[in-house]
């Protein structure tokens, strides 16, 4: 039973983190489109995309 609660809590954490990354990406894109795109912004978006992919894969594995 304890393992189930731990698994559910981890799923919640992963979902929350993915949503936070998506919102951060969206806000970064909006801000950069208003101001200016530079290498730092592109790097940040690339890192966020990789983290989203990583945690979506992890979420798929935790499902089982």
Could you report the per-residue pLDDT of 16-53, keeping only the tens digit for each? 999 999 999 999 999 999 998 899 999 999 999 999 99
Could you report the per-residue pLDDT of 36-45, keeping only the tens digit for each? 889 999 999 9
Residue 48 forms part of a structural domain: yes
Domain containing residue 39: 13-63
Residue 6 forms part of a structural domain: no
HSE-CB of 40 using CA atoms within 13 angstroms: 4
- pTM value > 0.85: no
Task: Mention every residue, 6+ apart, whose C-beta is less than 8 A from residue 11.
Answer: 59, 62, 63
* Count of domains forming the chain: 1
């Amino acid at each position: 039973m304890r393992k189930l609660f731990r698994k559910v809590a981890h799923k919640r954490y992963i979902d929350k983190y993915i949503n936070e990354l998506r919102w951060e990406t969206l806000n970064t894109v909006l801000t950069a489109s208003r101001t200016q795109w530079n290498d730092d912004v592109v790097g940040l978006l690339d890192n966020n995309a990789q983290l989203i992919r990583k945690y979506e894969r992890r979420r798929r594995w935790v499902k089982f």
